[in-house]
Chain A
């Protein structure tokens, strides 16, 4: 379980996260939803210790993050985290060298799933294919938790469909996923838990299925209620 407790963060005088608390369970897909500047990416960065927080606490399975945690939790930001000059096979070699959790078999499987070639240079790939390589590098790690920041941002509909297919495959099953997205419609049916953010606070946290069953509302309906108030 990823437990985010009363996290506060400011950039200078601007308070980006005012008091953020939520939990994301293993085996569930938790979606952070909010308009631009609501602090979604900052939360993911804070969970990965890629930006310091001023107050609060973040626990991964009840423990503070250590270097070993990066073998159990990975981050897929909205831009590729490999050198543009590398070929995909060089990126594979880098991952294999540095992560015990790297699963070469799964990486190769994903490569054909996304219809990519090992010899291709990252810098010569289209935006959609770069996003796929980025996702591949995260998904090919045998980790318990995956954090994804806007995986659908600015990519074509076919690439988006391919990435969406990943969520229904064995590649995600049993893992804990925290995802941020604007394009909620694409994955609405896949999401377990939703955390609605607004101006650095959690305005509502709910399980999509409960809301569907008990209130007959979709995630978008709830968002409309919350953000149009």
Chain B
């Protein structure tokens, strides 16, 4: 356990600079974007008011300023997607950087006097925690954006929305911040499942190289099919064969099968097959 914590800390520190860069980028673009939008809105409103148009008519003409209306702007969606894509890229890079180029750090990692699965789980948890971190940071930014809109746009011209309301207004955010705990846990478990399958595919490639790449892709596809098999069966039958609760239960069962078998397979590859 001690070795795992040390490795987790080590892995996280290796990602730290890139992670902070991502955060700065998200902050600057998203916060900057909302400030510019709010100031531009104010300017338009002021221009109208200067022309002697009544407030109600201005609102009718340009609408009220609402944070929810800005969730689909490129300055909001762009950095969020870029961060998520960055983490997806890092899911692969976290392994390959130890092998590729002049880097032979994998020799060290595989010859540490602790379980090789500590290396695996430290990488897994690093990816998972960074994903959670992005979600948490996004929440903080939305809160900040809300405060800034309050400061910039006068009361009469803005729709006040809570941070929670904003997150529920945007489908991607709704996936990141589900409405109830069970949904939140299921999404987190799903993301772990996804990382574990990707890691197993990477280890297949690292064990069998070129042919391993084919094995890896096939493995990931088969695991995807197994996990979704209850939904696929339902789709093939063409009618709602399972009750919704049954479908959820079956997805939990297939999810557990995929997770446990992938972890066991990864352990086998790490201990017996992986090659430097």
Chain A residues proximal to chain B, CB less than 8 Å: 45, 48-52, 67-71, 74-75, 77, 79-84, 94, 97-101
Contact = CB atoms under 8 A, between A and B. Distances in A.
A51 B106 CA distance: 12
Interface residues of B, number: 23
Contact of A83 (B6, B103, B116): B103
Nearest to B111: A70
B6 A50 contact: no
A49 B271 CA distance: 8
Contacts of B276: 45, 50-51
B102 A82 contact: no
Nearest to A72: B113
A97 B105 CA distance: 16
Nearest to B275: A51
Contact of A81 (B3, B14, B104, B273): B104
B131 to A, nearest CB: 24
Which of A79, A94, A97 has the most CB atoms of chain B within a 10 A radius of its CB? Answer: A97
A48 B104 contact: no
Interface string B1-21: 001001000100010000000
A84 B103 contact: yes
A67 B115 contact: yes
A80 B113 contact: no
Interface string B97-119: 00000111101101111111000
Contacts of A48: 110-111
A92 B264 CA distance: 33
20 contacts: A50-B110, A50-B275, A50-B276, A51-B275, A51-B276, A52-B273, A67-B112, A67-B114, A68-B113, A69-B113, A75-B111, A77-B104, A77-B107, A80-B104, A81-B105, A84-B102, A98-B6, A98-B114, A99-B112, A101-B113
